[in-house]
Amino acid sequence: MRITLPLMAAHRITRRGPWYFLAGLALLAAAAVWLRGFGFATGLMLALFGLAGFSFRFWLRERGLWMLAALALMAYVPLAVALQMDAWNLNRNCNGPWWAAIDGTLAAAVVWRTIRFLATIARVNRQLSRAAAIVSGLSERSP
């Protein structure tokens, strides 16, 4: 499996970003009111995924967004490791309800999708930025 997403999948995420955010907020509200905490981590990560998708909606037009994606990757990779370790510890020690492990696992899956999305944005936008710099004469390299 490649770490980056296909371009159409990344474009779909940017178009549906606000809906992912609203779904995450709805899951957060349901977890707080009716579900006794189940779905809180997944709802939070889904809301953050929607915000990431919404914030990079102009990723094919604006140069330099790859730096913001790389900065976000520096925050999301340790978050993914922490979520995976938490889900693994809950499963290994059996010290919590089974639905807490499912919530952590689903949240880790959403964070992994976010990491793949951000890696795609960073790679493609950097390539576009370098190509635009060469065309406009901002680069010292000759084509």
Domain ranges of the chain: 7-136
SS3 (DSSP) at 38: coil
d(CA 23, CA 51): 11
Pair 19, 50: CB distance under 8 Å = yes
3-state DSSP percent of the chain in helix, strand and coil, to 5? 80, 0, 20
pLDDT score recorded for residue 139? 55
**What is the model's pTM?**
0.85
Q: What is the pLDDT along the chain (143 residues), one digit of tens a residue?
A: 688 999 999 999 999 999 999 999 999 999 988 888 888 989 999 999 999 999 999 888 888 899 999 999 999 999 888 877 877 776 676 666 777 778 888 988 999 999 999 999 999 999 988 887 666 665 555 45
The full DSSP string for 50-112 is: HHHHHHTTTTTTSTTHHHHHHHHHHHHHHHHHHHHHHHHHHHHH--S-HHHHHHHHHHHHHHH
The tokens describing 29, both together, are 């509200």
Residue 95: predicted pLDDT: 67
Q: What is the DSSP letter of 6?
A: P
